[in-house]
Amino acid sequence: MWRALHLGAALWVVFAIGTAKAAAPQTSGTVEAGSEQKQPGQEPAGANPAEALEYGETIEIIGTTPVPGLGTALEDVPATVQTYGAKEVARQGPLSAADFLERNAGSVSLNSGQGNPFQPDVSYRGFTASPLLGTPQGMSVFLDGVRVNEPFGDVVNWDLLPPSAISSIQLISGSTPALGLNTLGGALALYTKSGNAYPGFSVSATGGSFGRGGGAFTAGGAAGAFDGFLTGNYLRDAGWAVHNPSRVAQLFGKLGHQTEHTDLDLSLVLADNSLEGTQTLPRSWLDTPTEAYTYPDLNSNRVVHLNLKGSAFLTPELWLSGNAYFRRMRNVNTSSNQNPDFAPGEPVQSTAFTDRSTIGQNGYGGAVQLTVVGPVAGLKNQLAVGVAADLGDVHFTQETQPAAFTADRGTVATGDFAFETDVQTTNQYYGLYFTDTLTLTDGLSLTLSGRYNRAHVAIKNLGAPEDNALNGDNVFTRFNPAIGVAWTPRRWLTAFATYNEGMRVPTPMELTCADPTAPRKLPNAFLADPPLKKVVSRTVELGARGRIGKVGHWSAALFQTRLLDDIQFVNDPTSGLLNSGFFANVGETRRRGLELSLALHTGDVAWSVSYGFIRATFQTPFQFASTTNSSAEDTNGDGVGDTVSVRRGDRIPGIPEHTLKLQADWEIVRNLSIGASVVTASGIYARGDENNQDVNGKVPGYAIVELEASYRILKGLRLSARALNLFGSSYSNFAVLGQNAFTGPGRTFGPAAGIDPAVEQFRAVGAPFGAWITLEYQFGGAPSPDPHGS
C-alpha cells in the first residue's frame, strides 16, 4: 500500500505539471469590495494575495506549505484547522503564543515542568513542542515560513517573539508531510504583522501581581509601495515562587515592498531574556508550593533571527515564492544539582555541583516554491512544488563546578569550573515536496501531497580530538505521502477524510545519549551510543466543520496517529537525579481521539466551547530499570524492585485524556466589555510510571478560571485588566518519579546527616491567583478596533 502511494504521488506531480494551462490567479481574503478605508488587520479588496496571511482577522487562506504563498482555501483543507487573529491575541494579552494556545486551542495542554511562565511544554494531541532539551518533540513550528525548531534538540523557545507581532496563528492537525520534519501530530504556523496591514502607533504599560511590570509599543505605516512595522516588549517579573524571576526583552521589525504582482519582506527578531525556574517539587512539599527544590536554575536566551521572503507572479498562472533566513540562538544554562555520589562522612563541600552549559547554534537555509494555477483535464487545479533546506551548526560546551548546599538548598561554589564536554554538531535537513489540490466537482476536492526528506546529523568531539568514538555521521531518508478529500455540499458544511505520514529524526542530543548501560544527566555527557532509528508517523483523520449562518461555526474530528519506533527518555533510577537517563526506541505508540468545538456570536455575547479526548498508549511492551516506581519487579533477587514492565495499552505519561475549554465575552455597553474563560484538564500519569501502576497514581485534574475586562476611557485610550486562576486553585500539570535527597532537618541535604533519600512523586505546581492591569494609548493611522468587539 505504501509503495503504491509513493508511486502515485510521483506520477501525480508529472501529470499536473504537464497538463497545467493558463488561468487567472485566485485572490485571497473575504473583505467586501469597495472598502475605501482599511481597518487594522483587514485586507483591502484586490490586495496582493501574498499579503493575505499578514491580515489576521478574516482567515480563509491556510498555509499548507513551508513557504507562505497562495495557500489553500480553508474549505479545501482535509485537516482540522484552528485559526486565530491579532484581535483575539490582543484581547487576552498573553505572555507568549504558548500561553494563548493553552486558553484557546482544542486538544492543547501545557505543563510547567520548567517552573517559568515563559518556558512551558505545549502538547497538542499528545505531541509536544518544548523548550526543554531531552523532551521528544512531535510538532513543527514556523514563523513566517521559517522552521524555528532549534537545530540542537528540535526544541521550541516560546519566549523569543513578542505577542504584539502576531498577525495570525494557524494550528493544523496531522502529519502534513509538506511541512517537513517533526510534523508528527500537527504543525503550528505563526504569521507576523506588516505596516500596510496595521498602521498607527500604540504604547502600553502593564503592572500587577508577582512584581510583574513592563511596557510595549507598536508602530506601523506605509508610503507608496513601501511599508514598515516595528514592535517591542520589555517585562520584568519577580515570579510567584522564590527564585523564579524573569526578564524579557523582545523586538520585531519588518520592512516590505508590494506591488500588484510582487511582494518582498525583510523581518528581524531580537530577544535577550533571562528566565529562572523552580523545578518540580516532592509531593510531600506541596504544603509550601512557593519553595525551590534547589537553585539556581537559570536560562539566558539570546536570538537574532533574520528572514527575507518574496514572491511574484511570473505569468498569470505561475507564482514563484521563496525565503532565505539566518538564525543565531545562544543559550546559557546554569543549574544546581545534588551530588549523587556523595557518601555520609564526606565533607559537606562536596554535597552539590553546578552545571554550566553553553549552546551556540546557527540556523540558516531557505526554500523556493513554484505554484501552478490552472485546469488539469478540464478541472480546476492548484499545484505547489518546492525545495527546502534547513541547516544548523551547533557548538556545545559543558562545565561542572563542585559546590555545597546552603540551608535553603542554594548552591555555593567550593571550587572552580572544570571542563567536561566540548562538542560540535551539524544538521543538514533537505526536503523536496509538493502538494496538489484538484477540484473534482463543485465542492469536492482531492489533495495529494508528499515530501522526500534527507537528514544528515554529524557529531564531532572537540574536547578530545584523539577520541574518535563520539565522532560520526547519521543519515536518515524517507518519502512521506498524504492523500485527502474535502467535500463541501453546502456553504455551511465541509466534510473531510485524510491519510498522511510524517517523520522525525533523532537529534544530536538523543543520538549521543542512547546507551542504557551508560545513562547520563541532560544535557551534559556525550558518549558514543547505539544508533537510534527515525520515528515514522501514520495519521488517519475524519472530520467536518461548518458555519451556523452568520453567527458561528463548529467542527468535529476523529483521529488516530501511530508512531513507529517512537523515542522516549527513560530515567536512570540509580543516579538520584530527575534529569538522568537515556533515549530509546520503544516500538509503537498510538494517539487516538475526538475533537469537538462550537463558537457563537449572538447580540452582545460571544462564546465558545471546545472538547478534546486523547487516548495515548504504548502499543509495544518493553521494560526499563527503575527503583522509584513502587510496582517495579525484583529481577536481581535482592528484595528490591528494579525493573518496570510496560504492557500494550498502558497510558503515556503527561498527556491528559480529557480537556475542556469555555470562553464568553459580553459587551455590556459600547465602551465596556468583560470576558471569562475556563480551562480544564483530566489527571495524568507521572514520567517513570509508564506502566500506570505506581502507588502514587495519577496527578489530579484541574480547572482554572480567568477573567478579562476592557474599558475605552477616551478615543485611543483603553484600560484593560486580567485575572488568572481566579479562585486560587492549587493544581499540578506535570510529574516525575524520583528520589528526594532533602530529608534532613528543615529539608536540608539528608545524606550529609546520614539520612537516605526518599522515593517520591515530584510535581510541577501551577501559578496561583494573579491580576494585572494594562493602560494602552493608540494614535495615528486607522482607529484600532475594540479587542472585545465594541
Quick one: what percent of the chain has pLDDT higher than 90? 72
| pLDDT at position 35 | 31
Strands 472-490 and 352-373: unpaired
Residue at grid coordinates 546559557: 332
* Reported confidence tier of residue 3, pLDDT bands at 50, 70, 90: very low
> What's the predicted TM-score (pTM) here?
0.90
Q: Residue 11: is its pLDDT beyond 70?
A: no
Within 13 A of 623's CA, how many CA atoms are on the CB side?
Answer: 12
| pLDDT at position 444 | 97
| pLDDT at position 46 | 52
Query: b/e string for 298-323 if b means 16 or more Cβ within 10 A?
Result: bbbbbbebbbebbbbbeeebbbbbbb
Helix and strand totals (H; E) in the chain: 4, 41
User: Which is more confidently placed, 445 or 45?
Assistant: 445
pLDDT digits (tens, 9 = 90+) for 127-153: 999 998 878 899 999 999 999 999 988
Name the residue among 351, 352, 349, 346 with its Cα closest to residue 334.
Answer: 352
Mean pLDDT of 401-430: 92
* Reported confidence tier of residue 666, pLDDT bands at 50, 70, 90: very high
Name the residue among 710, 699, 659, 665 with its Cα closest to residue 680.
Answer: 659
* Reported confidence tier of residue 108, pLDDT bands at 50, 70, 90: very high
Q: Domains of the chain, with CATH numbers?
A: 2-779 (2.40.170.20)
| pLDDT at position 54 | 67
Within 13 A of 452's CA, how many CA atoms are on the CB side?
Answer: 8
User: Which is more confidently placed, 108 or 41?
Assistant: 108
Q: Residue 1: is its pLDDT beyond 50?
A: no
For the chain, how many residues are written?
A: 790
* Reported confidence tier of residue 434, pLDDT bands at 50, 70, 90: very high
**Amino acid symbol at 690:** E
Beta-bridge partner residues of 205: 215, 775
Q: What is the mean pLDDT of the chain?
A: 87
- The helix (H) or strand (E) run that includes residue 444 is strand 444-461
* Cβ pair 145, 153 in contact under 8 A: no
Mean pLDDT of 411-433: 93
pLDDT digits (tens, 9 = 90+) for 15-57: 333 333 333 333 333 222 223 334 556 665 556 666 666 665 6
Which cell is 443 given? 465542492
Residues in contact with 669: Cβ distance below 8 Å, sequence separation at least 6, in sequence order: none
pLDDT digits (tens, 9 = 90+) for 290-344: 999 999 999 999 999 999 999 999 998 999 999 999 999 999 999 998 888 888 7
| pLDDT at position 283 | 96
pLDDT digits (tens, 9 = 90+) for 261-303: 899 999 999 999 999 987 899 999 999 999 999 999 999 999 9
Name the residue among 593, 599, 450 with its Cα closest to residue 83.
Answer: 599
Listed range (169-178, 303-312, 380-389, 576-585) with the worst mean pLDDT: 576-585
* Reported confidence tier of residue 567, pLDDT bands at 50, 70, 90: confident
* Reported confidence tier of residue 6, pLDDT bands at 50, 70, 90: very low
Which cell is 188 given? 503550528
Residue at grid coordinates 465575552: 665
Residues in contact with 785: Cβ distance below 8 Å, sequence separation at least 6, in sequence order: 39, 40, 41, 87
pLDDT digits (tens, 9 = 90+) for 542-557: 999 999 998 999 999 9
